[in-house]
């Protein structure tokens, strides 16, 4: 089962985008994703296992339970973990809101790019909090589409990005959630909350960032909602296509692109 209103969908193209995103951002987002040996860690909303692979590889002495609502994504996640040869991850199909897990049974919980899709992220965080042992932690990573700026600037590109923000809001999510992580975690009762912005900056001297992030992650994400955006009447086809063209323009030799992710850690 999968959420019908999940804005990015579950296509092969989307799976590739999530994979590209994780590989390109691995160092930026995960240089400090190190947990003490023997930790029991729940990854909620693992998708196709893009982050799972990085976490499992960086923490070979920890045991992960990675869950997702989508059977299809889980099958891909299992396949890629097997292919990588990691044996420290178990997978289960589960809905965060209907999980049947022992309270206080995990040392740490990890969530990435999922709170932004939930109409009730506070509720999810409170459910997850109950599963963490006292003194354990939650790590949440989210983007914030309001943080995208680029050269050359383009009002068309900003309009296309706004469509993604609006569609996600219509589906009950919040594409601007990165800036909200601190208040979210503190209001849910987490202690010692620290949020670190992780800035992606791409220009043509960093070709792996231009390819892996600007083109294959961000622009692909905006392009992916073209039909939904045009069909909904929020934008006309020509304006949207100009916007996407201008986003690719920012990936050319003299273009630059900025985006900020936010990584929050809170203690239970």
Ligand X SMILES: C[S@@+](CC[C@H](N)C(=O)[O-])C[C@H]1O[C@@H](n2cnc3c(N)ncnc32)[C@H](O)[C@@H]1O
3-state secondary structure of 174: coil
Pick from 39, 53, 59, 70 the residue near ligand X by CB under 6 A. Answer: 70
> Of 113-121, 212-220, 227-235, 238-246, which part binds ligand X (CB under 6 A)?
113-121
> Of 93-101, 125-133, 152-160, 258-266, which part binds ligand X (CB under 6 A)?
93-101
Residue 113 is a binding residue for ligand X (CB under 6 A): yes
According to DSSP, the residues that pair with 263 across neighbouring strands are 141, 196
Residue 143 is a binding residue for ligand X (CB under 6 A): no
Query: What's the min distance (Å) between Cβ of 256 and ligand X?
Result: 25
Pick from 30, 78, 117, 129 the residue near ligand X by CB under 6 A. Answer: 117
The angle at the Cα of 187, spanning 185 to 193, to the nearest 5 degrees, equals 40
Residue 173 is a binding residue for ligand X (CB under 6 A): no
* Contact present, 163 and 224 (Cβ < 8 Å): no
Residue 202 is a binding residue for ligand X (CB under 6 A): no
The angle at the Cα of 70, spanning 267 to 161, to the nearest 5 degrees, equals 75
**x/- string (CB under 6 A) for ligand X, residues 24-63?**
---------------------xxx--xx------------
Structure tokens at 158: 């900003």
Q: Cα-atom radius of gyration of the chain, to the nearest Å? A: 18
Segment 7 to 26, residues that bind ligand X, using CB under 6 A? 8, 18, 22
Contacts of 143 (CB under 8 A, 6+ apart): 113, 116, 175, 177, 178, 259, 260, 261, 262
Nearer to ligand X, 8 or 242 (CB): 8
Cis peptide before 152 (omega within 30 of 0): yes
Positions touching ligand X (CB under 6 A) are: 2-3, 6, 8, 18, 22, 45-47, 50-51, 68-70, 73, 95-97, 112-114, 117
């Amino acid at each position: 089962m999968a959420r019908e209103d999940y804005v990015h969908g579950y296509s092969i193209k989307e799976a590739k985008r999530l994979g590209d995103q994780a590989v390109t951002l691995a160092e930026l987002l995960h240089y400090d994703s190190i947990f003490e040996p023997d930790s029991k860690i729940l990854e909620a909303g693992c998708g196709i296992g893009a982050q799972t692979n990085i976490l499992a590889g960086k923490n070979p002495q920890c045991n992960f339970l990675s869950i997702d609502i989508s059977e299809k994504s889980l099958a891909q996640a299992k396949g890629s973990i097997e292919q990588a040869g990691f044996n420290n991850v178990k997978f289960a199909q589960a809905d965060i809101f209907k999980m049947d897990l022992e309270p206080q049974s995990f040392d740490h919980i990890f969530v990435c790019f999922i709170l932004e899709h939930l109409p009730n992220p506070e509720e999810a965080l409170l459910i997850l909090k109950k599963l963490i042992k006292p003194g354990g932690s939650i790590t949440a990573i989210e983007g914030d589409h309001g943080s995208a700026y680029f050269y050359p600037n383009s009002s068309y590109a900003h309009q296309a990005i706004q469509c993604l923000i609006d569609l996600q809001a219509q589906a009950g999510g919040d594409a601007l959630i990165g800036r909200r992580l601190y208040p979210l975690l503190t209001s849910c009762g987490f202690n010692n909350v620290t949020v670190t912005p992780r800035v992606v900056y791409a220009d043509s001297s960093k070709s792996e960032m231009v390819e892996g992030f600007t083109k294959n992650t961000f622009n692909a994400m905006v392009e992916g909602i073209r039909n939904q955006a045009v069909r909904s009447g929020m934008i006309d086809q020509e304006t949207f296509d100009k916007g996407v063209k201008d986003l690719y323009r920012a990936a050319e030799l003299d273009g630059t692109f900025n985006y900020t992710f936010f990584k929050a850690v809170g203690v239970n």
